[in-house]
Structure 1
């Protein structure tokens, strides 16, 4: 399938602009008016006599790492003061952890904020942003916010990035390519060999963003090393987050690592004081708790393997899962399956007409997911 370009002005857009000039009230850009809302994972509905679980937002089911709550409470005592604009302590901690210069870093309110900022910093109106689809649903939204055109390249049948098709989609208008690895919501990750071959062909004028929000969960042969990769390319930047493996989703803090000119542009367009003092303190404390982090991630990876085995024994064709979630390609049945899950006390994330993403949560929640999927598949098989 060819890529689709979303965001190019149409005849309707031009007519809307003409109409808007005749109104007296301020009007946003047409591209803003057409932005679909971001759909978050819903919380579960309480059910009497049944514990409910939220598996719809890829959250870490465990509490903060050791020392994080104490560091956060200490920082909260100074909430009458603005946070450190430069996030200097966090920059220093990341620089030490990643062995990179501090000027090669930028922090923001989650990796999604960094993606918005990158498109705002590097795209002129009408420029093209290439990304896989289905992938992170914020990508086309961020492109529209930057007045750019979203170019969606279909995934392969097994939920992987079609890097050859993404190369074919490059035009003189292409400014940014987003590579989500592991891919949210389908799960597979790009290998280093695949990425190296891809980057060898991408024009140096095109910025390549490696979205590694789930990097800590990858367990595969030849995994991508984003930090090593950016060191070899002037047009590569890596975005990561403390929301997933580190369990700081409620505080909103992420970081980018890349060549100094790219991270300088990120800092130039960042929201002043966006990363709170509490978030900075929690992130620094989390970086100091690596042994506990590793243990927690391994527990979640083991649960992921267990869930995958159960789903596949039920006869489901589940793509390789390298994040903290699994993908069920139920197509037109996605919404119905989500309803069945909710009746059983778990909330998953349906993508209507496409599939369902379910986070790896507490063992009981994971057991319930496998049971529902097994019953669902058995019922459908008998009916056919």
Structure 2
């Protein structure tokens, strides 16, 4: 029998949002709108060359991102989605015997990627209002802490971290511990006083920021994201990155998306408006739905979660169910959201 690494069989597997034929898929936080014509044309122009390796450093894209964010190119590391950039951060910061702190529930990849490198995940429960418990996260720091992950807006609860909260938290965190501010859903964040990761990166040596082209930009199928951090950090991220992980198709699509931000913003605005409409409809129907500042909504459904998930699937709507905790509903195009609202109307609301 082939010898495998001890404990690898115990790692939880990341579960992709379910899709069912002829059902409305609201399980993966995808942008519901098709690629822009300009982005599709840019990708088509590269099709004749995908027999060649891409630029491993994604230099054109990196320089465009740096210009847009007003940071140095050396402070950027790209990856196959922000999840791969996160993997780079964990691999370069933590190892056997180290600890990684994160809120919970939050992005499912956090504990998985932490355990892949042999480090210990330290999940800190959210507060009753679905927000990060920063006091508890600060209290969880030990001499073995190497990385702290902050997700804003938080996936799957949708709550945003305020600038005041993050400032106070950073003051309590040792300066040698890297704090990663995961802003995958930043484009949808309309929360008053929301923390801006780049502002904190500029003022704190131990802050890194994660961004993705999968959500607002609609490039989920091409896989491209990036981390912004101090040069000493990003140099190590590039050392552990997957060689040629960001394809030339993804690189040109990302550059074209940066050129089309005004057009893409109109789509973001439509999603934000739909988020408000669906949230109001849920509350009017008796559901206790928390505020959300991402492109999804969260219902804390507890033990009824499997029942509600099954009922929605029966009516041709697929959401993301989390055990006996709750369901996350991606905000889709209006007609998709209408089908969801019609389906959930047949379910008795979960009340606090």
TM exceeds 0.5? yes
Tell me how far apart the structure 1 counterparts of residues 178 and 301 of structure 2 sit (CA, whole Å).
34
Residue 37 (str. 1) matches residue 13 (str. 2): yes
- Name the counterpart of 1:294: 265
- Name the counterpart of 1:25: 2
How do residues 9-88 of structure 1 correspond to structure 2 at under 5 angstroms? 25-30=2-7, 32-46=8-22, 52-88=23-59
Aligned-partner SS, 2:329: strand
TM-score (norm 2): 0.97
Name structure 2 gaps, 5 residues minimum.
none
- Report deviation, 1:171: 0.8
How do residues 140-155 of structure 1 correspond to structure 2 at under 5 angstroms? 140-155=111-126
Residue 204 (str. 1) matches residue 180 (str. 2): no
Name structure 1 gaps, 5 residues minimum.
1-23, 47-51
Asked whether the 8 Å contact 1:76–1:277 carries over to 2, the reply is: no
Residue 324 (str. 1) matches residue 295 (str. 2): yes
Length, aligned pairs only: 351
How do residues 268-287 of structure 1 correspond to structure 2 at under 5 angstroms? 268-287=239-258
- Report deviation, 1:272: 0.8
User: Pairwise CA RMSD of aligned residues?
Assistant: 1.2
- Report deviation, 1:346: 1.2
- Report deviation, 1:33: 2.0
- Name the counterpart of 2:282: 311
Show structure 1 runs of 4+ deviating over 6 A.
Answer: none
Tell me how far apart the structure 1 counterparts of residues 86 and 141 of structure 2 sit (CA, whole Å).
19
- Name the counterpart of 1:16: none
- Name the counterpart of 2:327: 356
- Report deviation, 1:210: 0.5
Tell me how far apart the structure 1 counterparts of residues 218 and 91 of structure 2 sit (CA, whole Å).
28
Tell me how far apart the structure 2 counterparts of residues 336 and 258 of structure 1 sit (CA, whole Å).
43
TM-score (norm 1): 0.89
Residue 119 (str. 1) matches residue 123 (str. 2): no
Tell me how far apart the structure 1 counterparts of residues 270 and 93 of structure 2 sit (CA, whole Å).
39
Residue 259 (str. 1) matches residue 235 (str. 2): no
Pair 1:298–1:123, CA change in 2 (3 A): same
Superposed CA offset, 1:191-243 (max 9, x none):
11111111111101111000100000000111111111101111110001000
Superposed CA offset, 1:38-95 (max 9, x none):
111011233xxxxx21100000000113410111011121011100011000001101
Residue 187 (str. 1) matches residue 184 (str. 2): no
Asked whether the 8 Å contact 2:86–2:227 carries over to 1, the reply is: no
Tell me how far apart the structure 2 counterparts of residues 275 and 29 of structure 1 sit (CA, whole Å).
31
